[in-house]
Structure 1
C-alpha cells in the first residue's frame, strides 16, 4: 500500500507519541481546512505566549542586574541567585555522567546550576545518551 508523505511521517513517529496524540484528538482522519487553520493558530498562539514569558523573565533579570551593577552589589553568588529567581537557572544535583564541570571542582550530589526557561539549549548528545539509558 502507498501512503501519502504525511501518513508516512505519522506512521514513523514512535507508537507512544501516536497513542498520546490519538487519545487527545482521535484517530487519523482527513481534516477540514478550518480544523487545520485552528491547529496552526493554536500552535502560533502557544509559541507567542511562551516567547512573551521568556522575554519577561529576561527583561526582569536584566533590570535587576543593571540595578545591582549601579549599586556595586553584583558578585557571582548574587547573579546566580537572581538568575534562579527569574527562572533562568535551576538547582539540580551534580551528576558526573551528565554534567561537565570545566574546573573539576564539583562532586556527585552537590548543588549544581543548569540553564532553565529561555536559556535552555537542546540537550547535549551526552545527556541524551544517558537519559535514554545508554552510556557515554
Structure 2
C-alpha cells in the first residue's frame, strides 16, 4: 500500500479532536438513537445548516458518524466503535481516581480513629501505565 493510499483510508480527524467541541458532542447525542437528516439536525442548533454540516464532516472524518443518501437527502447515524479508543484512554484515569479516592478514604478513616488528631499523611499512590 502506498503512502497516499494509507493516508486516504485513515481518518482526517482523530476521535479526540472530534469530541473536543461541545457542539459535536451534542450532535453525537442527537444521533444515539436514530438516523437523522441534516435539515432535522440543524433545527436543534442556533447556527446555520452549513455550520452544522461542517461539524458533521469532522465527525464523519473521524469515523464517528456515517452518511447515507436517501433521494436528495443525506442522513447521518452514529458509529460508536471509534469511541472505544477514547474509552480505553479514559480507563487509565479511572484507575488513577480510584486509587486517589481509596487513599483519601484510608486517610479519613485514620483521622476518625485517632483521638489526638495527629494523623499520618495518606499513602502515596504510584501511577501505573495504561495496559495496551
TM-score by length of 1: 0.30
Q: Decide which structure has greater helix share.
A: 1
Larger relative contact order, structure 1 or 2 (CA cutoff 8 Å, min sep 6): 2
TM-score by length of 2: 0.30
Greater Rg over alpha carbons, structure? 2
